[in-house]
Amino acid sequence: MPLPRAVARFNRRYTNRFIEPIVRRFPGFATVHHTGRQSGKEYRTPVNVFDLDGDLIVALTYGPAADWVQNVLAGPARIDRRGHTASIERTTVVDRVTAWPVLPIPVRVVLRCLRVCDFMRIELAEHRTG
CB distance 82 to 28 below 8 Å: no
Q: DSSP assignment, residue 6?
A: H
pLDDT in tens, 91-100: 999 999 999 9
Q: Enter the pTM of the model.
A: 0.78
Residue 9: its pLDDT value, please?
Answer: 61
Cα 49 to Cα 103: distance, rounded to the nearest angstrom: 9
CB atoms within 10 A of CB 129: 5
Report the candidate in 63, 48, 54 with the shortest Cα–Cα distance to residue 95: 63
Cα distance between residue 85 and residue 117, in whole Å? 28
Within 10 A of 72 (CB to CB), how many other CB atoms are there? 25
Q: Which CATH superfamily is domain 5-125 in?
A: Electron Transport, Fmn-binding Protein; Chain A (2.30.110.10)
Helix residue ranges per DSSP H, 24-116: 67-74, 96-99, 105-113
pLDDT of residue 49: 92
pLDDT at 2: 60
pLDDT digits over 84-120, tens only?
A: 889 999 999 999 999 999 999 999 999 999 899 999 9
Q: Which residues pair with 90 in a beta bridge?
A: 123
Domain ranges of the chain: 5-125
- Residue type for position 75: G
- List the one residue out of 53, 105, 127, 48 whose CA is nearest residue 81: 48
* Per-residue pLDDT reduced to its tens digit, 21-62: 666 676 788 989 999 898 888 988 888 899 888 899 999 988
Cα–Cα distance between 16 and 18 in angstroms, integer? 5
